[in-house]
Amino acid sequence: MIHPTAIVDSQARVDASAHIGPYAVIEGAVTIGPDCVISSHAKLIGPLVMGRGNKIHSFASLGDAPQDLKHKDQPSDLLIGDDNVFRESVTVHRGTNGRTVIGSKNLLMVASHVGHNCVLGDNITLINSAALGGHVVVQDRAIIGAHCAIHQFCRVGKLAMVSNASSHNVDIPPFVIAMLINCIAQLNVVGLRRSGMPQGSINAVRRMFTILYRDGGRLPLAQAIRKLPPEIACDPEVAAFVQFVGESKRGVARYHPWSLRHATRATEDEAAPE
For the chain (274 residues), the mean pLDDT of every run of 10, in chain order, is 98 98 99 99 99 99 96 94 99 97 99 99 99 99 99 99 98 98 96 98 97 79 91 98 97 85 51 48
Task: Collect all residues with Cβ–Cβ distance below 8 Å to 274 and sequence separation of at least 6.
Answer: none
**CB-CB contact of 259 with 186 (8 Å):** no
CA 132 to chain centre: 8
Residue type, 151: H
Strands of the sheet containing 137-138, edge to edge, are 13-14, 30-32, 48-50, 77-80, 99-102, 119-120, 137-138, 155-156
Task: Give the model's pLDDT for residue 264.
Answer: 52
**CB-CB contact of 208 with 226 (8 Å):** no
Q: From residue 175, how far is each of 82, 106, 138, 193 by CA, in Å? A: 25, 18, 13, 11
Closest by CA position to 55, among listed 5, 96, 109, 9: 109
Burial class for 10, CB neighbours closer than 10 Å (0-12, 13-18, 19+): exposed
Of the chain, the end-to-end C-alpha distance in Å amounts to 55
| Residues facing residue 32 across a β-bridge | 14, 50
Cα gap 189→105, rounded to integer Å: 22
| Residues facing residue 59 across a β-bridge | none
Q: Which CATH architecture has domain 1-135?
A: 3 Solenoid (2.160)
Task: Collect all residues with Cβ–Cβ distance below 8 Å to 192 and sequence separation of at least 6.
Answer: 159, 175, 202, 205
pTM exceeds 0.85, yes or no = yes
Annotate 162-196 with b (16+ C-beta within 10 A) or e (fewer). Answer: bbeebebbbbbbbbbbbbbebbbbbbbeebbeebe
**CB-CB contact of 227 with 220 (8 Å):** no
Burial class for 200, CB neighbours closer than 10 Å (0-12, 13-18, 19+): exposed
Q: 12-16: list long-range contacts, CB under 8 Å, 24+ apart.
A: 12/46, 15/52
Task: Give the model's pLDDT for residue 220.
Answer: 87
